[in-house]
Structure 1
């Protein structure tokens, strides 16, 4: 299976689009800020890779620059959702909505997997033995610098992350909860 390499900007654009009802990549989410040439370049790359598709739109803010007769909107495709793992979440939601409404909900079971990659990192950090950087990278598919940035983000959110050694390898764990 070929692994797609997406920039952080592309990941943010696809994630925001997957959360929108219409699947639009535009306007960019607040975390990105104003629309810049870098955003347009990232969108064009997503279009070339079939992770996004052009559609006619009437929304001036959510359109790409094009000829004046027509506005082009950009929506996430199924391949785009698959690239960020959004398909699996939608399938679970659809399965839940397909269940008969008259039945009582099943007894709650422990979740089979955390809801997000940062949730996965937190579950690893909560273990008694903690987690190595390599374990977190393997579990999330992130690059080392992205994983370290996630640890910094958790610290900024108030998690106390202790750093220790497991043999010769650096190990991280949650010392106290936020």
Structure 2
């Protein structure tokens, strides 16, 4: 695992907790040449990516590209992996972000400028947690039944169902499907976006 500076660690950790893994705004006190140098190194290592800022949604700008357009910074899968967020989870969050951007670009009405309190916000998931383990089980082609999740985690069935409906569907907004399968019961799957 590469050694991170305190600044790099702070930038990636904050990005992991923000919607769409936004790395902006940068930590207070990091500006000018120091900010450019820190960001350039992180982009070079593949930890950050410069993408077009959605000004209607109010994305903070990293730099202006002209004609009122600008770019912002997001943490990449590699950047999240460096701070311990499992690649499977990072891939899911990245795919969901890209799907949201595709939907927003094809929508006829502009996106809302203020986030709705009922809208689930992406949340960083630490590597090695049971939540990350369950997400990995649900991403398998065959999905996972409650019995399989209970065996893998040691939880009671109602706890596993609660995490799926409350934690993964509502809080994280993950597209989880449920289907009854003979011999396995209800099988939950997390389809790749």
* TM tier relative to shorter chain: 0.3 to 0.5
* Structure with bigger RCO (C-alpha 8 Å, 6+ apart): 2
Larger Rg: 1
Q: If the length of structure 1 is used for normalisation, what is the TM-score? A: 0.47
